[in-house]
């Protein structure tokens, strides 16, 4: 519980929201869907800055990119007609395993990325489609690739305003292992493949809940380039992920168990992509 909250702000512009945050960063927090904020235990937070009046809850097509407002809920994003037209069943299916229907109707895309949660299925899927972010910080608006956001210094916390994604010929699949349907991932894997003449031209191999935040396994991606796409391909993906897994242990699972799970999830994701071809 945030027992010391005494001020509530509902700014109308991104600039205003960031200025309020900067005026007392140590005691302030942004509120989007509130599913994390509502569960926080802190006596430090005194000011809540609600992002809902910023009107960042739309999905639109700009050129060949889908532009998703940061306060779009997970449920409306996965069901959005434009998202389904551009990405088929990828987000619709993958994000159906995030928490429960009630959680997905509150939790937002920006709120899923910002806390850099290791087990975020949303972040893993967005990394696999090569998402970019528009953020607003001390230097104004800035575009950055999602993986760069995860490695920002701890003190640098810009406001995420939009997420930009483009399918651009890639096929993607996502697999999650969790102890129950509603549980967070013990491991999740998102895989995207771009093919040319029956071979893998490029691949994005993402693993989350390692338990650290999701990353791309770039060594695996390089090793997959030019690989023939046939019935052996998924088991090669599995071996490569097993050999190059980078992660750790926590109460949910050991490093060894995660490594095994990640490789199996990667194989299943590759099999799913082959079904789409
Ligand atoms: C019971 C439960 C089960 C869940 N299961 C899953 C699951 O299986 N898979 C999964 O991926 N997720 C799951 N989630 C959702 C996830 O863990 C987060 O709760 C959710 O994504 C947070 O989104 P929010 O919009 O509610 O964020 P909020 O709670 O509003 O904010 C979270 C943090 O991000 C900051 N923030 C929010 N928006 C922005 C922004 N635009 N720019 C900068 N900072 C911002 C806030 O200041 C705060 O620090 C689950 C949540 C719950 C409660």
pLDDT per residue over 230-274, tens digit each? 999 999 999 999 999 999 999 999 999 999 999 999 999 999 999
How close is the Cα of 120 to the center of ligand 1, in Å? 9
Whole-structure pTM value: 0.96
Q: What is the crossing angle of helices 255-276 and 233-244, to 10°?
A: 150
How close is the Cα of 38 to the center of ligand 1, in Å? 10
Nearest residue (CA) to ligand 1, atom 47: 30
pLDDT per residue as tens digits for the range 26-59: 999 999 999 999 999 989 999 999 999 999 999 9
Q: Which residue has the tokens 């429960």?
A: 100
Task: Decide: 123 in ligand 1 pocket, CB within 6 A.
Answer: no
- Contact predicate 99/124, CB 8 Å: no
Backbone angles phi, psi at 203, to 5 degrees: -140, 150
User: Within 10 A of 29 (CB to CB), how many other CB atoms are there?
Assistant: 18
- Contact predicate 238/263, CB 8 Å: yes
More confident residue, 1 or 110: 110
The rounded Cα 212 to chain-centroid distance in angstroms is 13
Of the residues 42, 99, 208, which should be mutated to test ligand 1's pocket, given the most ligand atoms within 8 Å of the CB? 99
Nearest residue (CA) to ligand 1, atom 14: 99
How close is the Cα of 274 to the center of ligand 1, in Å? 32
């Amino acid at each position: 519980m945030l027992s010391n909250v005494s001020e509530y702000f509902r700014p109308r512009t991104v600039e205003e929201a960031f200025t309020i945050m900067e005026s007392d960063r140590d005691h302030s927090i942004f509120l989007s869907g509130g599913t994390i904020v509502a569960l926080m235990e802190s006596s430090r937070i005194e000011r809540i800055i609600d992002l809902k009046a910023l009107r960042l809850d739309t999905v639109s097509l700009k050129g060949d990119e889908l532009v998703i407002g940061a306060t779009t809920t997970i449920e409306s994003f996965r069901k959005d007609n434009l998202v389904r037209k551009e990405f088929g069943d990828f987000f619709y299916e993958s994000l159906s395993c995030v928490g429960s229907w009630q959680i997905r109707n509150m939790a937002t895309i920006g709120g899923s990325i910002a806390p850099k949660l290791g087990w975020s299925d949303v972040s893993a899927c967005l990394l696999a489609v090569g998402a970019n972010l528009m953020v607003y910080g001390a230097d104004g608006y800035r575009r950055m690739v999602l993986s760069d956001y995860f490695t920002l210094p701890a003190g640098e916390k810009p406001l995420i305003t939009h997420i930009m994604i483009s399918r651009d010929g890639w096929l993607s699949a996502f697999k999650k292992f969790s102890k129950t349907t509603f549980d967070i991932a013990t491991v999740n894997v998102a895989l995207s493949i771009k093919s040319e003449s029956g071979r893998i031209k490029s691949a994005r191999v993402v693993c989350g809940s390692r338990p650290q935040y999701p990353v791309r396994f770039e060594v695996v991606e390089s090793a997959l380039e030019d690989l023939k796409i046939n019935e052996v391909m998924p088991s090669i993906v599995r071996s490569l992920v097993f050999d190059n897994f980078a992660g750790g242990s926590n109460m949910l699972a050991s490093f060894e168990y995660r490594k095994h799970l990640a490789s199996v999830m990667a194989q299943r994701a590759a099999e799913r992509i082959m079904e789409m071809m």
